[in-house]
């Protein structure tokens, strides 16, 4: 088997029904297991972004990216490894308040992990921590003795380290293509 590594894909698309299915079936066909996925709007009206992480090899992933881009409603897909991006996930922890308050070093624990308290009720306390998976997991381990009732993670979000904003470039190219199409009735038909 070729060398496996964790890849992050970002997929920019029109915001339409069934888009996620169109993307996920490409993984299904190749029997690739998606590690995590997050979806959100972008700053550009109407354009959505998926961030997907998956363990695979580069050759396979390059083919996957091309097949994703081939879907009509997909604008552009980018393939990254961890070196190319700054990435983060958010974790929420719902812990028993009483147990937490018995902890002598609660303050230092929270400080040490850079966590925040979002809500406290007599029953439970909600903590939040942003970081990389190993960091959010480290906090989870420390909180376990106090009874973690729920633990959720957002899945990865990322920005690229590259100084070039490739999506914007792509959109500009398409605008020029659009102008050319309507100036020249013969092109693109």
Partner 1 sequence: MITGAEALVRSLIAEGVDLVFGYPGGAIMPVYDKLYDYTSQLRHILVRHEQGAIHAAEGYARITNRPGVVIVTSGPGVANVITGLSDAMMDSTPVVVISGQVNSKFLGSDAFQETDVVGITQPITKWALQVRRAADIPAAVARAFYIASTGRPGPVVLDIAKDAQTGELEWKHEKLRFIRSYNPRPKISPADIVHAAHIINAAQRPMILAGHGVMISGAEKELLALAQKADIPVATTLLGLSTIPSDHPLNKGMLGMHGNIGPNFQTNKADVILAVGMRFDDRVTCDIDRYAPNATIIHIDIDSSEFNRNVRVDATIHGDARDALLALTPLIEPAKHTKWNEQFDRCNQVERDTVMRAELRHDGKITMGEVAASLAEATNNQAVLVTDVGQNQMMGARYFRYTMPRSIITSGGSGTMGFGLPAAIGAKMGAPERTVVYFGGDGGFQMTIEELGTIMQYGTAVKMVVLDNSYLGNVRQWQELFFNGRYSQTPLLNPDFVAVAKAYGIPGERVEERAFLPAAISRMLSHDGPYLLVVAIEEMDNVFPMIPIGASVEEILLNKTEKFTYPED
Minimum CB separation of residue 32 from partner 1 in Å reads: 15
Which DSSP letter does residue 82 get? G
Question: What residues are paired with 91 via a beta bridge?
Answer: 129, 153
- Give the separation between CA 104 and CA 26, rounded to whole angstroms: 51
From the list 69, 82, 96, 128, which residue makes contact with partner 1 (rule: CB under 8 A)? 69
Determine if 143 is a binding residue for partner 1 (CB under 8 A).
no
Residue from 29, 41, 111, 144 touching partner 1 (CB under 8 A): that is 29
Contact call for residue 67 and partner 1 (CB under 8 A)? yes
Tell whether residue 62 is a contact of partner 1 (CB under 8 A). Answer: yes
Among residues 164, 174, 6, 170, the alpha carbon closest in space to that of 77 is found at 170
Which residue, among 124, 157, 159, 158, has the nearest Cα to 143 in the 3D structure? 124
Closest separation in Å from C-beta 47 to partner 1:
9
2-21 residues in contact with partner 1 (CB under 8 A) are: 13-14, 17-18, 21
Q: Burial level of 41, CB count in 10 A (0-12/13-18/19+)?
A: exposed
Give the separation between CA 75 and CA 137, rounded to whole angstroms.
Answer: 34
Closest separation between CB of residue 63 and partner 1, Å? 6
Q: Which residues bind partner 1 (CB under 8 A)?
A: 13-14, 17-18, 21-22, 25, 29, 62-63, 66-67, 69-70, 72-75, 171, 174-175, 177-178, 181-182, 187-189
């Amino acid at each position: 088997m070729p060398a496996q590594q964790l890849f992050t894909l970002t997929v920019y698309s029109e915001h339409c029904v069934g888009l996620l299915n169109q993307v996920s079936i490409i993984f299904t066909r190749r029997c690739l297991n998606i590690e995590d996925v997050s979806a959100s709007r972008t700053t550009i009206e109407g354009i959505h972004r998926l961030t997907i992480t998956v363990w695979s090899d580069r050759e396979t992933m390059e083919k996957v990216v091309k097949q994703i881009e081939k879907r009509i409603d997909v604008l552009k897909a980018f393939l990254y490894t961890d070196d190319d991006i700054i990435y983060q996930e958010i974790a929420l922890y719902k812990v028993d308040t009483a147990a937490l308050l018995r902890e002598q070093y609660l303050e230092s624990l929270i400080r040490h992990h850079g966590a925040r308290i979002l809500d406290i009720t007599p029953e439970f306390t909600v903590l939040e921590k942003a970081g990389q998976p190993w960091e959010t997991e480290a906090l989870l381990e420390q909180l376990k003795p106090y009874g973690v009732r729920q633990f959720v993670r957002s899945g990865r979000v990322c920005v690229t380290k590259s100084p070039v904003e490739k999506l914007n470039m792509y959109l500009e190219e398409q605008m020029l293509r659009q102008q050319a199409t309507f100036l020249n009735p013969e092109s693109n038909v």
